[in-house]
Every structure is written in C-alpha cells, then in structure tokens.
Amino acid sequence: IEDMAEAYRWADFVISCAGANTLAELAVLGLPALIIPMRSVARNHQFHTARLFSARTGTRWVPEEAWEPEKLAADITSMLRDREVWMAASHRMRNFATPGAAIAVIACCEGLLNGA
C-alpha cells in the first residue's frame, strides 16, 4: 500500500501484524483490528506486543499457528454487522491512544540534551 492515510480512511477493519507503529496508528484512528504477530521478527517481540495491546484495548489477536479462518471470519463479520460492537471496539482503541506522544518524547530528549 503506497498511501496508508487513504487506506485507513477506506477501512472499517484491519488485519495486521503487531508492529508498534501500526498499532499506534490503529489506536489513534480508533480502527478495530485483528492482530497477527509475525513470528519471524527479533525475539518474537510482536507476540508480546500483541498480547499487551490486546489486554489494554480488547483487540482480538491470534498467533500465526492458531489461525482458524472460519472462526475468525465469523467473528469479524459479526463485528462489522453490529454497529454498537464496532463502536465499542473503536472507542477502546481511541482510549488507549496517546496523540502527540512522539512530540512529547522529542521534547523530553531535547530537554535532557540541553541539561534541563
């Protein structure tokens, strides 16, 4: 995908790996998702990221080895057909988001570099 902003505007639901940047984007957008951590990344860190993210947002996550297409498809379809369930999932994502976090981290680093 070359234009992620456009893809996010178009999407009602995302199936994605558990990269930190992607999860942050989904949270800020309040975009419900199914998270599948990639086993091939360093020390399987996406597994732990997905587990923690799910615990805080209620986002469904599934390790690659536990993939059950029919059950997952039914779960996703059910969410997309029930506006209240979708809205609740979106709300949980947005509540977890920290808009402006990158700017705050940069300001903190600059303060440390300047001896503040």
Helices (H), 1-116: 4-10, 20-29, 45-57, 69-81, 83-96, 101-113
Total of domains in the chain: 1
Residues 68 and 58: beta-carbon distance below 8 Å: no
Q: Does the pLDDT of residue 116 top 80, yes or no?
A: no
Using the predicted structure, report yes or no on whether residue 67 has a pLDDT greater than 90: no
Residue 11's CATH number = 3.40.50.2000
Q: What is the mean pLDDT of residues 2-19?
A: 94
Type of residue at 98: T
The beta-strand segments (E) located in 12-95 are 14-16, 33-35, 60-61
Q: Please say if the pLDDT value at position 21 is more than 70.
A: yes
At 56, which helix (H) or strand (E)? Answer: helix 45-57
Tokens found for residue 35? 């998270």
Range of the domain at 94: 4-113
Considering the entire predicted model, what is its pTM? 0.82
Predicted confidence band at 65 (pLDDT cuts at 50, 70, 90)?
Answer: confident
